Amino acid sequence: MSKQNLLQKIIEGALMVSHEPLTLQEIANLFDDNKPSKNEIKQIVDKLNESYKGNAFEIVLVASGYRLQVRPGYDQWLLKLNKQSSTRYSKAFLETLVIIAYKQPVTRGDIEDIRGVSVNPQIIRNMIEFEWIKVVGHKESPGKPELLATTKKFLDYFNLKSLSDLPPPSELNTQ
């Protein structure tokens, strides 16, 4: 097997077994000597994706790195395998999440001002538990409220590379 071919197989295998996305650095660190350059790895990923054409899966780049996943469009069948976890979120949950994502860093007070209702503490707790948001600091105002921001895991979950990939707000209808 040629060296290039072996490299390709190792990277493919690593992406297959890893439960978390792998960064270019993490992939390079698989090798003790003759570490491939980041550019080389990118080329290999492209090559692998090229070879996956016609397969159900592909390598995608999300915020935390590369991961191998099933292409969209098979959820109708594959969801039947996924018995326990629910992927539906309440409107309150989603609204709170977008405000944190688009306006970060924000305090609970900021969220309440926009939504006009008090923040459900359970929702914030869940998001922190999912590691979708974290406390990034405290605002210099009375009570030193926590400043909340989203994490890479949040982006990973929604298949996004960065916050700039979030859908843009629609033009305000000022007719």
Partner 1 sequence: MLENNFDITLNGKEITDIPEDLFIPPDALRVILEQFEGPLDLLLYLIKKQNIDIIDIPILPITTQYVNYINMMQQMQFELASDYLVMASTLAEIKSKMLVPNDIEDEEEEDPRANLIKRLMEYQKYKELSEKLDVIPRRNRDTFVISGIMTNFNKTDNLPKIKLDQLEAAFQDVLKRAEIYASHTIESETLSVRERMSSILININKNGTIKFTDCFTYSEGRMGAIVTFLAILEMVKESLIDIIQNEDFSIIYLQTKTS
The residues that bridge with 59 in the sheet, in sequence order, are 68
Q: Which of 48, 99, 123, 127 binds partner 1 (CB under 8 A)?
A: 99
Q: Is 24 in the site for partner 1 (CB under 8 A)?
A: no
Q: How wide is the angle at C-alpha 51 spanned by C-alphas 48 and 54, nearest 5°?
A: 130
Q: Does 52 bind partner 1 (CB under 8 A)?
A: no
- Of the two residues 46 and 113, which places its CB atom closer to partner 1 in the complex? 113
Among positive and negative, which fits the CA dihedral 64, 67, 72, 77? negative
Quick one: 91 exposed, middle or buried, by C-beta within 10 A (0-12, 13-18, 19+)?
A: exposed
160 contacts partner 1 (rule: CB under 8 A): yes
Question: Smallest distance from the beta carbon of 83 to partner 1, in angstroms?
Answer: 11
Burial call 28-50: b when 16+ CB within 10 Å, e when fewer:
beeeeeeebeeebbeebbeebee
40, 89, 105, 161: residue in contact with partner 1 (rule CB under 8 A) = 89
User: 98 to each of 105, 107, 151, how far by Cα in Å?
Assistant: 12, 13, 13
Of the pair 3, 88, the CB lying nearest partner 1 is at 88
User: Do the beta carbons of residue 145 and residue 108 sit within 8 Å?
Assistant: yes
Q: Is 164 in the site for partner 1 (CB under 8 A)?
A: no
Nearer to partner 1, 28 or 158 (CB): 158
**Which residues of this chain interact with partner 1, rule CB under 8 A?**
15-19, 57, 60, 67-72, 74-75, 78-79, 82, 85, 87, 89, 91-92, 94-95, 97-99, 101-102, 113-118, 156-160, 166-167, 169-170, 172-175
